[in-house]
Amino acid sequence: MAVKKEPTLLEDLNQALAAETIAAFRYLYLSKMASGLDSLPLAKMFGEMSDGEWGHVSLFMERIIQLGGIPVSKPAEWEKRTFHTYTEPPRRGNDLKAMIRDSLKLERSAVEFYQKLANKTKDSDLITYKLAVDALADEANEVQSLQALLE
């Protein structure tokens, strides 16, 4: 089946690539910044989330190239192209709840974005659809894990 390429699909994929790159860095940063008595499990979780986001970066980059596009490659462009408004991560390493709340905002916007991407591609591009659904599932799991930490 030939892929009927949506006119904005490459831009959507580059938005995902930019957002995932920023998220991967952000979670790595938070994994190193988290401090205090209860920080070790959260720091480990942020490190694992960073690894997962780097995996998404790789998959989105590969799909953009498969579709004949050029992945966004300039760090200055990531902030401009991301689907989530960039905000500075919390700087106080001992404010773990702020780190969690901040991360929840990012993950919820990712869930919303991947839901839209899945809906957009479900009848026209099964490979991108599966990529969006898989990313959606990963991000939804992260929302649940983060939310559980606040309860």
DSSP notation for 36-102: STTHHHHHHHHHHHHHHHHHHHHHHHHHHHHTT------HHHHHHH-SS---PPP--TT-HHHHHHH
pLDDT of 7 reads 67
Instruction: Give Cα 115 distance to the centre of its chain.
Output: 13
pLDDT of 2 reads 47
- Residue 6, C-beta contacts closer than 8 angstroms, at least 6 positions apart: 12, 120, 121, 124, 125
pLDDT of 134 reads 97
Which pair of structure tokens corresponds to residue 110?
């990712």
Contacts 24+ apart (CB under 8 A), 78-83: 78/18, 78/21, 78/22, 79/18, 79/22, 80/18, 81/14, 81/15, 81/17, 81/18, 82/15, 82/18, 82/19, 82/22, 83/15, 83/16, 83/18, 83/19, 83/109, 83/110, 83/113
pLDDT of 118 reads 97
Q: Is the distance from CB of 67 to CB of 61 less than 8 angstroms?
A: no
- Residue 40, C-beta contacts closer than 8 angstroms, at least 6 positions apart: none
Average confidence (pLDDT) per 10 residues, the chain, 151 residues:
66 96 95 89 96 97 96 93 86 88 95 97 95 97 95 86
Domains belonging to the chain, first-starting first, are 9-82+89-150 (1.20.1260.10)
